[in-house]
């Protein structure tokens, strides 16, 4: 259509209005196209056709893998191969709030867990869906982008378990190295200012911030002794805080965009996409010397002279190891996989349990925004769609310990009157059935609802990753272990009681806390411990923070898979450098700690092969 020469029916124009309209449309189109970076090209064909040998092969281009490959390629004498099972992220991933459209798509592994009697009882099939990014950037391309480090005691405990070099004092330098926080942070010495990952407060990239709701929540938490904290991870204390995100002026800053795009023309880095690593190549001396890959049914063995680094995540990294004969002997024998090394691969699986179904009903004066207005404002100002729905999260210690070490996190998000498709998609992804969604839509028809979501920060329960078969293309068997330990239930019960206590504050007088109706719980006394436990076991599900399945620990730890330098025990030429190495899950969202692990992994490799010092403390 020729916009300049088009007039509305019955209208007359001298041409200026059409010209301005054309310029507006051109500006919007350019703004839309500018969102999409130019990722490294897929060099699979040249690798399949040649017989090249690499120094290092990095498996997985996610939060850790993109970081590791980028940092290793800083050594010009090394040739690095980065292998990713997915492709480039689609346009939708760059617009943060549209992440929901990727869930369940080809860009998502969409793992399904085994059913359980202890958790997820009220969800579809009594199972949980683990959404994990299957593309460059991995889950950093599909997550909610929250920037959370965890707490200092998390890392100090890692070191106390026999992992030297992993205290908070030691890893802080890597958090600073990865950060680019701009000029908005008040505590300058606690942050980095020229790293790869842009970090902004979500309040900087939105106009519509639900200020009335957030003000009420801040006041209610304050009444209960939890202050508002400007910089949670500089002060390391409980309270309610403004959320920060891995976002660059309203655009998602995934690790592929942050670490791979700037070096896409670096000659010593080769990237293969849509290529599955099926197994590790291991000789009789237990030396890993390459990988076998499959692309579109064609198999290829690729060799490396120094190391293979697994960074495929807490599900795929142990899966690849077990398929290669590194894992629990008994389990491998059941599947007729020859055992190379008997290690507790797949054990120690942990996840933050997230409890949905608690809604704070608020009649407010704020006007909902039309979706088309949101998109227009995003393209012109990078606001609105650049963040989750609110700017607050909270960390509390339900036992009130003097050491101030939170055990429950509250994710606080809001939905305007009339349930929107994004909110519906989220709760469908959690596992809600149609009856649950109908109830949720009904209560939101004439009121704002705040999703007050307690998250179990330090679960005691443990799960396990296993193989269904020896076929590398079969999904793994995921046993979550959720709520196997009764103390996890008690912690979440205390979290629910905290919400009820918050409802009795002067600030929230007249507001209501609504519970999603659960048939199994309907005959129990409301607000009793029995009711709370029933509610938790029916609706408790994944927090999407899966870690621990290739545990880091000393040689004396029978569960340890890797040592403190992330080398796999009794197997040469193999390291693991992703969230699976966490001995215990950190107290908060795990994406940024995983990037930190990637940064440290690369430095450990450089130190081992080049003798270079680690990152200096003054960063």
Please name the helix (run of DSSP H) or strand (run of DSSP E) that holds residue 281, with its range, or none.
strand 276-282
Q: Which residues of 115-152 are buried (b: 16+ CB within 10 A; e: fewer)?
A: ebebbbbbbeebbbbbbbbbbbbbbbbbbbbbbbbbbb
Sign of torsion over alpha carbons 198, 592, 413, 33: positive
Which residues line the annotated binding site?
A: 277
Nearest one of 560, 598, 601, 72 to 304, comparing CA atoms = 72
Compute how many other C-beta atoms are within 10 angstroms of the C-beta atom of residue 75.
Answer: 18
Which residues line the annotated binding site for FAD?
A: 277
Compute how many other C-beta atoms are within 10 angstroms of the C-beta atom of residue 485.
Answer: 15
Burial status of residue 616 (CB atoms within 10 A of its CB: 0-12, 13-18, 19 or more): exposed
CB 582 within 8 A of CB 596: no
CB 572 within 8 A of CB 341: no
Burial status of residue 496 (CB atoms within 10 A of its CB: 0-12, 13-18, 19 or more): buried
Q: What is the DSSP string of 389-418?
A: S-SEEEEE-TT--TT----EEEEEEEE-SS
CB 483 within 8 A of CB 87: no
CA distance 150 to 164: 19
Instruction: Kindly list the catalytic residues.
Output: 545
Q: How far is CA 515 from each of CA 218, 297, 300, 499, 531, rounded to the nearest angstrom?
A: 22, 49, 54, 12, 11
List phi, psi (to 5°) of 7: -120, 160
SS3 280: strand
Q: How far is CA 617 from each of CA 74, 175, 190, 270, rounded to the nearest angstrom?
A: 20, 11, 12, 31
CA distance 203 to 148: 16
CB 518 within 8 A of CB 536: no
């Amino acid at each position: 259509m020729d916009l300049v020469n088009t007039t509305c029916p019955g209208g007359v124009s001298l041409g200026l209005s059409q010209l301005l309209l054309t310029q507006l449309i051109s500006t919007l189109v350019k703004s839309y196209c500018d969102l999409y970076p130019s990722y490294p090209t897929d060099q699979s064909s040249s690798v399949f056709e040649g017989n090249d040998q690499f120094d290092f092969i990095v498996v997985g281009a996610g939060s850790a893998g993109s970081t590791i490959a980028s940092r290793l390629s800083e050594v010009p004498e090394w040739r690095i191969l980065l292998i990713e099972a997915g492709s480039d992220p689609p346009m939708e991933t760059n617009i943060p709030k549209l992440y929901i459209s990727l869930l369940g798509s080809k860009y998502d592994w969409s793992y399904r867990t085994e059913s359980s009697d202890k958790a997820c009882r009220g969800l579809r099939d009594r199972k949980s869906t683990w959404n994990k990014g299957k593309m460059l950037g991995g889950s950093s391309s599909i997550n909610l982008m929250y920037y959370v480090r965890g707490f200092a005691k998390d890392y100090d405990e890692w070191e106390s378990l026999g992992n030297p070099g992993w205290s908070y004092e030691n890893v802080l330098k890597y958090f600073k190295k990865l950060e680019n926080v701009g000029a908005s942070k008040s505590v300058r010495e606690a942050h980095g200012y020229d790293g790869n990952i842009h970090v902004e407060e979500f309040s900087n990239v939105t106009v519509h911030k639900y200020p009335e709701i957030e003000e009420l929540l801040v006041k209610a938490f304050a009444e209960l002794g939890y202050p508002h904290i400007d910089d949670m991870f500089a002060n390391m204390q409980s309270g309610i805080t403004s959320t920060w995100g891995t976002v660059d002026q309203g655009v998602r800053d995934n690790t592929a965009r942050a670490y791979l795009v700037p070096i896409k023309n670096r000659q010593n880095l080769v990237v293969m996409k849509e290529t599955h690593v099926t197994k590790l190549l291991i000789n009789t001396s237990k030396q890993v010397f390459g990988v076998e890959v499959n692309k579109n049914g064609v198999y290829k063995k690729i060799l490396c002279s120094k190391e293979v680094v697994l960074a495929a995540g807490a599900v795929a990294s142990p899966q690849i190891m077990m398929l290669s004969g590194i894992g629990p002997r008994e389990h491998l024998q059941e599947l007729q996989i020859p055992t190379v090394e008997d290690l507790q691969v797949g054990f120690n699986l942990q996840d933050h349990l997230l409890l949905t179904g608690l809604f704070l009903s608020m009649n407010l004066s704020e006007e909902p925004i039309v979706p088309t207005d949101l998109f227009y404002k995003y393209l012109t100002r990078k606001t609105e769609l650049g963040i989750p729905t609110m700017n607050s999260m909270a960390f509390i210690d339900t036992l009130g310990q003097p050491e101030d070490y939170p055990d429950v996190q509250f994710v606080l998000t809001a939905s305007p009157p009339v349930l929107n498709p994004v909110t519906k998609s989220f709760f469908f992804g959690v596992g809600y059935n149609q009856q649950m969604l109908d109830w949720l839509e009904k209560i939101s028809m004439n009121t704002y609802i705040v999703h007050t979501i307690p998250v179990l920060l330090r679960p005691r329960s443990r799960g396990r990753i296993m193989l269904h078969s020896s076929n590398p293309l079969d999904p793994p068997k995921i046993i979550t272990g959720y709520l196997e330990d009764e103390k996890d239930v008690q912690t979440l019960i205390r979290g629910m009681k905290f919400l009820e206590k918050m409802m009795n504050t002067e600030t929230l007088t007249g507001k209501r806390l609504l519970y999603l109706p659960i048939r199994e719980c309907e005959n129990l006394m409301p607000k009793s411990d029995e009711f709370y436990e029933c509610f938790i076991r029916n609706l408790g599900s994944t927090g999407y923070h899966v870690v621990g399945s290739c545990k880091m620990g000393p040689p004396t730890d029978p569960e340890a898979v890797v040592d403190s330098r992330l080398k796999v025990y009794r197997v040469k030429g193999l390291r693991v450098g992703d969230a699976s190495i966490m001995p215990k899950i950190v107290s908060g969202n795990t994406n940024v700690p995983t990037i930190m692990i990637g940064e440290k992994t690369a430095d450990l490799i450089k130190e081992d092969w080049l003798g270079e010092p680690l990152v200096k403390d003054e960063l």
